[in-house]
Each structure stands twice: as C-alpha cells, then as structure tokens.
Structure 1
Amino acid sequence: MSYAVAQEIASRLANITVANGYKTNAGQNVALGWRSIDRAEGLPSLTVTETGYEPDTEPARLPGRGRYRIQWAIEALVPVTGNALQTLYDIEADVIRALFDPNDSLGALTKKLTYSGRQFSREQAGSDIARLVTTIVTWHNEN
C-alpha cells in the first residue's frame, strides 16, 4: 500500500509546472526515497519519503478494521538566491494544490489526506541549497 501511495503522490507532484498553471516547475524533477543532491539533475527538485507509520488510537468505524496513518515528507530543494524563500513558499503552495485538488483521497488510495506542517533549512552549513520539507499524513483503513 505504501508504495502505491508514494507513486500517486509523485505522479501528482510531477504535474507541477508553469505550463499546467502552477507557480513553479518543481515537478520536473521528482523522485521517491532518498537521493544524492546533484545540481546537474536540476533544481528545484522534489523528493517523496515515507517518514512514519502508526496505528490510529481511535476506535475503527467498522468492527475488525483498524485504521492507520502514514506520514510523508516532501523535500524541496532550490539554489540559495535572493528569492529562495519566496520560491520555497511558492513550491509549498504548488505541492498543497497538487495533492489536495481535485480531491484528497489520492485516487481512492486513502481515506483522508492532511497537511501537517513545514520546515525550512539549508541542506548543510555553508551550502548553497535551501530546503523545505512539507509534511503530510495519509489515513487508511486496514483491509
């Protein structure tokens, strides 16, 4: 299930281009899992990683069917320039739009999708790459 959800997230993120009406072209370089930072691949880039999996502590709606949630990190990298922060804000807005429109069920793979926050940083001290991690949570029923 997790891999199918990751693929759907990546597929939606790949649509983030100015030609599709978004503010950025962050969708031109999307990957799953972890990768080395390679400027030759082009920035901005987006990387989708599962960062948590836990059962829901509230009772399930149907007897015998528990619920669980998966936490996802969507890492955006951009070059540090005078407008890097604005670019990261634009990418975050694009990511949220791509994932929540037209629906938040990710093609019926989830029961619910929620935004959980963001964090800005530099990739490393002295690095010329700025980083934004947007966190989302997908909610599922056990089969």
Structure 2
Amino acid sequence: MLEIEFENPNISVCECCGGKTTRLTRFVHKDGNAFAIYYLSFTDNHPDKSIIGIISIGDWGSDGPPKNRKSFPFKIWTNEKNYQIGLIDKIESPWQDALLGEILNRNEALKHNWIKDVFHITDHIVAEDILAIEYLNQSNG
C-alpha cells in the first residue's frame, strides 16, 4: 500500500512573471517503508498550465548513497476531461540534485524496471495531492 506524507508548500514569486510559484515536497511510503520522494512545481501566472515534477525511487529508507536511486522527471496537465502525464528529459527538469540519484531521460525512463512504480505514484498524485489537483482543476477552468 502506498502512503504519501504531505509537507507544507513552499511559495515564492516567479522571477519571469511575478506570479506565485508553489513547490511541493512529498515523501512516499510503501508498506510502511520509505520508498520514494517527489517534488512538484507550478506557477499560477504561466500560460502553460502544467505541473513539472520528479520522482526519485530507490534506497530512501537508509542513508544509502544516491547511486541506489533513479529519478524520473515528468509533466502533468489536463485536457477537457482527463489528467495527462508525460515523462520529460532531464534537461527540462528544474531539479538536478545529486541526492535524487541518476536522473533519467524520457527514453531511458520508459524502459526502466521501475516505470510502473512511477506511474503508480503519479496516479496517487492526481487522486490525493490536493494542492496539485486544485491547480490542475483551476487551470482546466
């Protein structure tokens, strides 16, 4: 069973547009054990109403080295009826922290053994992460 630990948002002013940027940090537990971490970022004033995120899966239950983690950058947006989720290349990700482990490009991520876990987590994001859901629903107007 997957459980998400919700931290308070980090709010700042976007340097390019002056809008409100929201950054979220979430800890994911699977069967009671540390499993993954994800970050989300979105800005209320950008014309592209989407969320950029990254999921890092691997050895989060100990002080294990980042080499035991892989990160999967992604984007979430909506069409008229559904949430859309797509993997993106690491160059498009604002997160480049070595603590997250190796950040995979889209093609690498799609072939990785943990891709089902990534999409399982994104399913939970669009079902449980209230701040992300509210932003996406608002942007869908």
For Structure 1 versus Structure 2, the TM-score category normalised by the shorter chain is 0.3 to 0.5
Higher relative contact order (CA 8 A, sep 6+): 1
| TM-score (norm: length of structure 2) | 0.32
Question: Which of 1 and 2 has greater Rg?
Answer: 1
